Structure 1
Amino acid sequence: MNTEDAGGVKLRPEIVAVPAYKQGRAAPADGFKLSSNENPFPPLPGVVEAMTAVLGELNRYPNAGGLDLRERLAERHGVSADQVHLGNGSVSLLAQLISAAAGVGDEVVYSWRSFEAYPGLVTVTGATSVQVPNRADGGHDLDAMASAITDRTRVVIVCTPNNPTGAIVTAAEFEAFMASVPSSLLVLLDEAYYEFVTDDASVDGIPLLKRYPNLVVLRTFSKAYGLAAVRVGYAVGPVAVLNAARSAAIPLSVTDVARAAALASIDAEEELMERVARIAMRRDRLRDALIAQGWNLPQAQGNFVWLATGEHTAAANDAFFDAGLTVRAFAPEGIRVSVGEEESVEKLLEVAGDIVRNLPNGHPAKRLG
């Protein structure tokens, strides 16, 4: 798109050049949607009841400050309510925090490939993205990220488990990284898939907040808690930084329906975490089966697996779709496959087996031997 396409309206060229975020492809009829990292389990009846109870007040603006939800989260994490900030999903919190810290002439450092919204969020602020390539195993190269920091860097984003590759940042790696970066630099630890992690070596960001006053941790109710449709996430961090994010926020963006759903989900957490455990076990079983087929897979600690299909990504994406499975293609790098319903696994493995058999010998997605 250019200015002529916009009817002569002058637009920022860097914004026009950024592809808009697109949702995962819709599933074919009688197929399975494995493209959006959604929780395959439907909402619990108690959560639906809590959401329904507030529908009679839709003529009123929401209690977007959400003090009751912030207090519940603060109690859980051992912080004050002012150290918790709610947002319309964790991606909106990322947007607020980047906007609060970075502007024209500044830089934001993050690993790549990582969450596909990062480039757009940075560009909107007028800042410049500095993308540091992932390691061969799909994880963050934190040493290289630290080396990429300059006097223009205002924000560093660390995503663990990394979306879309699934690799974690370990506690030891993260603490070494924090020790190497300036204390004036805002570090955003994006833990959207925190609840799915089963590797004890993984970093747990919130207990580190007392040690690092430049750290903010982001989490969400969209994934593990199954509330993707109502959009509610939260940030935990220093009050001054979160107050700046609040100033950058669109007012009243967290609805009462979302707040009620989140509170009810906390009440039902034991049952919800049992579902998460089942998804994690299904993920591990799926990964093991893919490796047995001949796939070379990175560690998977989110609710998805990564197939590094490279130049064969478009063809592999079509093969999955033709079989009734929508997956998320990131051409020309690979395909992210969400862990969906149990009934999807057999079909997924059938198609994946055909794909890997047809990859040329020596292809990075194909396990040697």
Structure 2
Amino acid sequence: MSTPQPRATIADIPPYVAGRPPTVRPGMTSYKLSSNENPYPPLPGVVEAVQAAVGQMNRYPDMGASALYAALADSLDVPVEDLSVATGSVGLIYQLVQAFCDPGDEVVFAWRSFEAYPIAVTAAGAASVRVPVLPDGRHDLDAMAAAITDRTRIVLVCTPNNPTGPAVTQAELDAFLARVPSHVVVVVDEAYVEFVRMDDPVDGLASYRSRANVVLTRTFSKAYGLAGFRVGYAVAPAPIAAALRAVSLPFGVSTVAQVAAIASLERQPELLERVDALVAERTRVVDGLRAAGWDVPDAQGNFVWFGLGERTADFAQAADELGIVVRPFAGEGARVSIGETEANDRLLQLAASFPR
């Protein structure tokens, strides 16, 4: 007897491996450094706004997210028509591939990079073209430009790159964009944009304003600390933004997520103070790791990368025994989020004792 069968490509979808919670250890506070979460609680006023919205849970969300679109348009100085919201920036990546790729079309991205990229591409029946990052964890933009073919529909530029850490400069992005055909969508994935502190940082909004094929994807999950509510947004030329909205899941962004995002936008000064504190902790951690002899890549997100190769599992186990859980990528390395001061101190303790 025949049974229903999914599309052949479904079997090829790689699983998404989420950062696991820490092991409970009696007498020890354990810390989760595996998911690049913001260790701070919600901004003042956000919880109160969400609590008020919870009373409307018997009603559907505003499908047009009109208040959130208006708040984003005002904050970013962009037209509402150039915006699309979704369940985190990852939701927008799925929508972009769905909107612009037919089966067999190609999507070019650096590797290793955000592990949801090949999942979204394969789910749509498109083909992933993975371009290895450079030894220092940076995008090889020359190789990515050379990998573009007549089947390429999208190029993904993750800056800062998750999980390796380095960010692209504006000069590098401009030179790359000049080599990309105008019909290819270039996605500048800026999930960690608020944490960037470097010379010549990417000005994503300027890039979107100057080219008709550039899309920015951003999220409220990281700097804004709304990971549990799943809300992100894209800034794109109006025709691309319209395509994203056309394939979006109806009522995808919940009422409480919309309210929390708006309340967070209204509190950007407090947000930026927290980001500055996390960046200071990141600097302390990176300096400590390098003083201990570790050659870690430039860290422009809220995490650091250890290129450990076959020692990755041993490193993750040693971290777990110290009460911190990291995100291992088998055979490649481990990404460790910047967390509470005590958690970061334990990471430095681990780095001092673990063989390099």
**Given that residues 14 and 118 in structure 2 are in contact (C-alpha distance below 8 angstroms), is that contact kept between their aligned partners in structure 1?**
no
In the alignment, which residue of structure 1 is the partner of 2:18? 23
Aligned positions of 1:291-310 closer than 5 A: 291-310=290-309
In structure 1, give the amino acid aligned to 2:350.
V
In the alignment, which residue of structure 2 is the partner of 1:129? 128
- The whole-number CA distance in structure 2 between the counterparts of 1:248 and 1:294 is 49
In the alignment, which residue of structure 1 is the partner of 2:198? 199
In the alignment, which residue of structure 1 is the partner of 2:137? 138
- The whole-number CA distance in structure 2 between the counterparts of 1:119 and 1:87 is 19
1:100 paired to 2:95: no
TM-score by length of 2: 0.96
In structure 2, give the amino acid aligned to 1:94.
I
In structure 1, give the amino acid aligned to 2:86.
G
1:247 paired to 2:242: no
TM-score by length of 1: 0.93
What is the aligned counterpart of 2:8 among 13, 29, 33? Answer: 13
- The whole-number CA distance in structure 1 between the counterparts of 2:20 and 2:351 is 18
**Given that residues 166 and 301 in structure 1 are in contact (C-alpha distance below 8 angstroms), is that contact kept between their aligned partners in structure 2?**
yes
- The whole-number CA distance in structure 2 between the counterparts of 1:89 and 1:242 is 15
- CA displacement at 1:128 relative to structure 2: 0.3
SS at the partner of 2:233?
strand
**Given that residues 225 and 272 in structure 1 are in contact (C-alpha distance below 8 angstroms), is that contact kept between their aligned partners in structure 2?**
yes
**Which deviations, in whole Å up to 9, do the C-alpha atoms of 1:51-107 show, x marking residues without a partner?**
011111111100132111111211222211111111111100111011101121200
- The whole-number CA distance in structure 1 between the counterparts of 2:321 and 2:14 is 26
- The whole-number CA distance in structure 2 between the counterparts of 1:33 and 1:101 is 36
Any unmatched runs of 5+ in structure 1?
A: 1-6, 360-369
In structure 2, give the amino acid aligned to 1:43.
P
Bigger mean CA deviation after superposition, 176-185 or 64-73: 64-73
In the alignment, which residue of structure 2 is the partner of 1:229? 228
SS at the partner of 1:207?
helix
1:275 paired to 2:274: yes
- The whole-number CA distance in structure 2 between the counterparts of 1:14 and 1:289 is 45
4+ residue segments displaced more than 4 Å:
none
In structure 1, give the amino acid aligned to 2:94.
A
- The whole-number CA distance in structure 2 between the counterparts of 1:45 and 1:193 is 22
- CA displacement at 1:199 relative to structure 2: 0.9
**Which deviations, in whole Å up to 9, do the C-alpha atoms of 1:275-312 show, x marking residues without a partner?**
00000110011001001111011100000000000111
SS at the partner of 2:55?
helix
In the alignment, which residue of structure 1 is the partner of 2:42? 43
SS at the partner of 2:314?
helix
- The whole-number CA distance in structure 2 between the counterparts of 1:114 and 1:245 is 23
- CA displacement at 1:331 relative to structure 2: 1.2
SS at the partner of 2:212?
coil
In the alignment, which residue of structure 2 is the partner of 1:176? 175
**Which deviations, in whole Å up to 9, do the C-alpha atoms of 1:16-37 show, x marking residues without a partner?**
2323212201012220000000
SS at the partner of 1:298?
coil
Q: Percent identity?
A: 51
- CA displacement at 1:249 relative to structure 2: 1.3
Kindly tell me the number of residue pairs found equivalent between the two proteins.
Answer: 352
**Given that residues 106 and 128 in structure 1 are in contact (C-alpha distance below 8 angstroms), is that contact kept between their aligned partners in structure 2?**
yes
In structure 2, give the amino acid aligned to 1:25.
R
- The whole-number CA distance in structure 2 between the counterparts of 1:62 and 1:288 is 46
Bigger mean CA deviation after superposition, 200-209 or 28-37: 200-209
- The whole-number CA distance in structure 1 between the counterparts of 2:336 and 2:270 is 25
RMSD: 1.4
Aligned positions of 1:316-327 closer than 5 A: 316-327=315-326
**Which deviations, in whole Å up to 9, do the C-alpha atoms of 1:183-205 show, x marking residues without a partner?**
11101100000000111322121
**Which deviations, in whole Å up to 9, do the C-alpha atoms of 1:134-191 show, x marking residues without a partner?**
0111010111000000000000000000000110100000000111110111011000
- The whole-number CA distance in structure 1 between the counterparts of 2:9 and 2:330 is 22
**Given that residues 64 and 256 in structure 1 are in contact (C-alpha distance below 8 angstroms), is that contact kept between their aligned partners in structure 2?**
no
SS at the partner of 2:256?
helix
**Given that residues 65 and 86 in structure 1 are in contact (C-alpha distance below 8 angstroms), is that contact kept between their aligned partners in structure 2?**
no
In the alignment, which residue of structure 1 is the partner of 2:113? 114
Bigger mean CA deviation after superposition, 242-251 or 145-154: 242-251
Bigger mean CA deviation after superposition, 240-249 or 117-126: 240-249
SS at the partner of 1:282?
helix
